């Protein structure tokens, strides 16, 4: 009887310990977040969150990494140094962006939003998955200039990162794969779908007469490449921007096909008002100059020019202004001022 009691007590203790352990393990299990596809939008070509379950903890970890300059070699450059929150995550007013050791990129940093719909990344489409994309800036000597071992060493030393990785991925451990997944949870969640254009589409507001006329002009001259609702068809085209001082041949760099010479990814026109300068090299400083390029700047006899631009675009000054009003209607300040995506109060902006 005594022995039985002992066994019972022992079993009881074991049971309580197991229960406690489970409780601790599940103290705050990662909370799944639903990635909502805006009404009327196509489904993303692949679901980037199938193998990388989107959770609140994963998103928050990705956000912390995105704003953390310690990810770079000299501790000066974060993802957010080049992808600035208030400029729809592009580099504001700089054609090229600052990397470590006073280096510069040789392309203009694209705005980051609606990445879940992208079929390829970078101006030449040289990267095909959001989770591997971040390796490029982390390792590039003219961006963050680090090594994977270097980044991981710094993260592992930091107890708050050790906790955040565990919160996001349940088990202990900081690995490059987890870091890339967390970054992709943050960048892949950047959704911009609430501009005046979207509100008009949802029937919440009406366009002004000028915006409406601009919309029609856009449909006539621009929608073949900057296609609704994402305002890009994800293709690579030549829109008449010539060879720059870096001899950047664009898509051809990646495919080695001469027919891809000077073709670049069609960028989205969403939030374009907030992300000057423009084009792959930031060679056009103002949005009005972009319209001037399409109106008068293109050599329509060029053999490599995209067929859709071979016919000269005629716009009166008034029509140019109407088109501009339409482009401004693509600005989504509820995205660029969304605190959920913005830096924490204590974040000090460098560069």
Q: Which residues bind ligand HEC (CB under 6 A)?
A: 66, 77, 79, 81-83, 97, 99, 105, 107, 109-110, 112, 115, 121-123, 133-134, 137-138, 143-144, 183, 187, 221-222, 224-226, 237, 239, 241, 264, 266-267, 269, 272, 275, 278-280, 290, 294, 306, 308-309, 313, 323
Distance CA 253, CA 274 (A): 29
Nearer to ligand HEC, 83 or 196 (CB): 83
Residues 6+ away with beta carbon under 8 Å from 245: none
Distance CA 208, CA 211 (A): 5
Nearer to ligand HEC, 193 or 241 (CB): 241
- 232: nearest Cα among 326, 113, 323, 89: 113
Nearer to ligand HEC, 198 or 263 (CB): 263
Nearer to ligand HEC, 172 or 344 (CB): 344
275 CB-contact burial (10 Å; exposed 0-12 / middle 13-18 / buried 19+): buried
Taking the complex as a whole, how short is the minimal distance between the CB of residue 265 and ligand HEC, in angstroms? 6
Phi, psi of 33 (to 5 degrees): -115, 140
Taking the complex as a whole, how short is the minimal distance between the CB of residue 205 and ligand HEC, in angstroms? 22
Taking the complex as a whole, how short is the minimal distance between the CB of residue 209 and ligand HEC, in angstroms? 19
Taking the complex as a whole, how short is the minimal distance between the CB of residue 97 and ligand HEC, in angstroms? 4
Taking the complex as a whole, how short is the minimal distance between the CB of residue 13 and ligand HEC, in angstroms? 48
Distance CA 169, CA 188 (A): 17
Nearer to ligand HEC, 8 or 338 (CB): 338
Please provide the size of the chain in residues: 351
Is omega for the bond preceding 318 within 30 degrees of 0, making it cis? no
């Amino acid at each position: 009887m005594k022995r039985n009691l002992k066994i019972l007590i022992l079993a009881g203790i074991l049971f309580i310990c197991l229960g406690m352990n489970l409780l601790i393990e599940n103290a705050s299990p990662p909370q799944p977040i639903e990635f909502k596809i805006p009404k009327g939008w196509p489904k993303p070509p692949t679901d980037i969150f199938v193998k990388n379950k989107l959770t609140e903890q994963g998103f928050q970890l990705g956000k912390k990494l995105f704003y953390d300059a310690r990810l770079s070699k000299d501790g000066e450059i974060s993802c957010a140094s080049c992808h600035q929150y208030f400029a729809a995550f592009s580099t504001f007013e700089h054609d090229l962006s600052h990397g470590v050791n006073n280096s510069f990129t040789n392309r203009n940093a694209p705005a980051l939003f609606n990445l879940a719909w992208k079929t390829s990344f970078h101006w030449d489409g040289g990267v095909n998955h959001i989770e591997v994309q971040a390796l490029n800036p982390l390792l590039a000597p003219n961006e963050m200039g680090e090594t994977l071992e270097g980044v991981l060493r710094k993260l592992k030393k930091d107890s708050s990162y050790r906790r955040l990785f565990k919160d996001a991925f349940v088990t202990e451990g900081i690995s490059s794969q987890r870091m890339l997944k967390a970054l992709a949870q943050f960048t892949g969640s950047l959704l911009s779908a609430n501009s005046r254009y979207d509100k008009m589409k949802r029937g919440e507001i009406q366009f002004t007469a000028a915006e409406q006329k601009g919309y029609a002009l856009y449909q006539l001259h621009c929608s073949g490449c900057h296609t609704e609702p994402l305002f890009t068809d994800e293709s690579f085209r030549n829109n008449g921007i010539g060879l720059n001082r870096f001899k950047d041949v664009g898509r051809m760099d990646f495919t080695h096909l001469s027919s891809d010479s000077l073709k670049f990814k069609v960028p989205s026109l969403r939030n374009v008002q907030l992300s000057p300068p423009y084009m792959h090299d930031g060679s056009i400083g103002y949005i009005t100059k972009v319209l001037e390029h399409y109106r008068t700047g293109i050599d329509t006899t060029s053999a490599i020019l995209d067929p859709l631009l071979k016919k000269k675009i005629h716009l009166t000054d008034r029509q140019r202004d109407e088109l501009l009003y339409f482009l401004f209607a693509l600005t989504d300040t509820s995205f660029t001022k969304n605190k959920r995506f913005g830096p924490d109060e204590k974040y000090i902006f460098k560069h």
